[in-house]
Amino acid sequence: MHNPLNDMPPSFYAVIVLAIGAIVWKTCKALTNPLAHLPGPAISKWTNRRFQLAVMTGERTRYEHALHERYGPVVRISPYEVSLASSSAAKMIYQIGSPFLKTPWYNIAVGDESGLFTLLDSKAYARHRRLLAHNYSENWIKNMEPYIAAKTRTAVSKMAATVDRKGYVNVNEWFWFMSTDVISEAAFGESFDLLKIGGKNKYIHDLEIDGLRSILRAEFPFLGKIAAYMLLGNSEDVEQGKMRMQSYTEGRLAAYWKAYEADPENVKPTLLTKAYAALQDGSISHRSMEADARTNIVAGTDTTASTATFAVWYLSKHPEIEQALIGEVSALPETFDDEQLRTLPLLDKVIKETLRIRPSVGQGLPRAVPAGGATIEGHYIPEGTTVAIPAYTMHRLRSVWHDPEKFDPSRWDHVTKDMKDSFVPFGGGSRVCIGQHFSQLELRHALANFYRTFNSGMVAPKAEGFGEDDMTPMSFFVTALKGKRCLLQRRAKQ
């Protein structure tokens, strides 16, 4: 009987041998992986593809959380990455002087190693942060409060006008215009004026495209330009957009630098004002300042907008809390400042609870296990492994937070040590978000002005098919709304 295999060319057998060899190699690698002993789904011993699917579909935080619910505080999520969710792990990773340094993921994602966000060397980072620290201090930020407050008032007045005309408003859209205008003025000394034009400008369009490319570059480096081309189109257009952003950044900072040189005492205060003096003695380079300015734009838009949006959304579903907050902010004088806002206990608790239940960055921030490895929650993790603390899960630890899925600002009436240790919306340690004070000042003004204007409260309308699904949080590093909208109308007065 004729065997058809005898007719196969030698190359066929070579392919078979290579395939078998690859399977054997992959199997040996999975079984000998130093992370193989850790809890986690079986597929994560072999590949990170399931994890990458969660990343690209915006499901990362929920996927990781489900794994922690099943496997505990230490979970292997890929052959070389571990997710950690416990207060003791957070203290170890985030402690001041921690040997758990940022991984090259940040450089790959941003494509620039000169800014504060991407500096990996701890000493270089400490020097750079010291140069910028005064610009982000609560005392200096007070100098920017007048234009921050003005833009929050403008945003709310635009929302009110839309409600009067249309019956309801997409608050997420206007909070996004607000936060973008605020941070662009704070970064460049000049606002993008999105509140005025009611839409996005070219810089923001280019920034969004570059942000998507950054995710592809960081999470799918093996696909490189192929993935970017498939999802973003003409790579030449993408590069031109990057050049436009660079040109704008250079031009705006040069104009501000000129104004600073002419009258340093009276120039408009920004997040980089005090760093300009460091340019003169070479302590900071133009490239580093440009990188920090661009990072400010990315860090100060979707983050603040999503937090403000989720705050008013949750309050619309809890009218008793909403009315209490309305009473609190309505008692403010006609002209108020942040010193007065900081004395409002419910406003503070609402912001904290929103940051807990919907952190603007819910995923873990990658760190590398130092030389010699580390034992965390009873598990040895070898050096070089990527570890991360997901805020989304930290804020849902059942051992710390009672009924964690419930929006309950009153939980902040009695803050425990475990709550403090597990509350990480801005990261922690020396790498804690440098802009947290700026963001919280803006949120206080935004919510106070919002509820002084919409003093009957807000409720979701039956319009445009809007519903709960639109408010599903999607994790693309920064948390976004699935439907990209949050429609609200005035609550009928009782």
Q: Which residues are annotated as a binding site for heme?
A: 433
For residue 178, count CB atoms less than 10 angstroms from its CB and return exposed for 0-12, middle for 13-18, buried for 19 or more: buried
**Closest residue by Cα to residue 55 from 374, 381, 386, 474:** 474
How many secondary structure helices (H) and strands (E) does the chain include? 23, 12
487-490 and 458-459 as β-strands: parallel, antiparallel, unpaired?
antiparallel
β-partners of residue 78 are 81
Decide: helix, strand or coil at residue 414: coil
Report CA-CA distances (Å) from 423 to 14, 312, 436: 56, 21, 14
CB contact at 8 A, 345 and 80 = no
Which positions make up the binding site? Answer: 433
Pair of tokens at residue 208: 């969004």
β-partners of residue 169 are 488
Q: How far apart are CA 167 and CA 334, in angstroms?
A: 26
| Sole residue written with tokens 């295999």 | 5
Q: Is the dihedral of CA 155, 161, 164, 170 positive or negative?
A: negative
For residue 20, count CB atoms less than 10 angstroms from its CB and return exposed for 0-12, middle for 13-18, buried for 19 or more: exposed
Pair of tokens at residue 451: 């509820």
